[in-house]
């Protein structure tokens, strides 16, 4: 839901490109760190989602 709201306000690809353009001059590696942090956060959210769905299925089965 948050993603759709953010996408409606401003497309994420365009903001990502704008951030890349802004960061490229001052800190060439800042974008890499940001991408790594986002990837780690996405992976963590995926793992938490899988665990919570597994727990929910166990609760339903029990």
Residue pLDDT, tens place only, 20-38: 666 556 555 655 677 888 8
Indicate the helix (H) or strand (E) that contains 1.
none
- Other Cβ atoms within 10 Å of 19 Cβ, number: 13
- Other Cβ atoms within 10 Å of 48 Cβ, number: 10
Q: Higher pLDDT residue, 38 or 17?
A: 38
**Under 8 Å between Cβ of 31 and 24:** yes
Domain count, the chain: 1
Domain that holds residue 43: 2-61
Q: Residue 4: pLDDT above 60?
A: no
- Other Cβ atoms within 10 Å of 7 Cβ, number: 12
């Amino acid at each position: 839901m948050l993603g759709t709201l953010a996408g409606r306000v401003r497309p994420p690809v365009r903001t990502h490109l704008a951030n890349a353009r802004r960061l490229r001059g001052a800190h060439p590696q800042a974008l890499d760190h940001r991408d790594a942090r986002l990837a780690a956060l996405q992976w963590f959210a995926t793992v938490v989602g899988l665990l919570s769905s597994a727990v929910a299925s166990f609760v339903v089965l029990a």
